[in-house]
Amino acid sequence: MRAEGHAVESICAVLRGQGVQVAARSYRAWKSRLPALRTLEDARITDALRDLLVSTGRAGPGPR
pLDDT at 59 over 70: no
Give the domain ranges of the chain: 2-56
Q: Tell me what pLDDT residue 20 has.
A: 92
Nearest-10 Cα torsion for 40, 46, 48, 51: -140
Q: Tell me what pLDDT residue 6 has.
A: 66
pLDDT tens figures, 4-51: 656 899 889 999 999 999 898 988 898 899 999 999 999 999 999 999
Q: Tell me what pLDDT residue 2 has.
A: 61
Sequential DSSP letters for 15-56? HHHTT----HHHHHHHHHSPPPHHHHHHHHHHHHHHHHHHHH
- Evaluate whether 1 touches 11 at the Cβ level (below 8 Å): yes
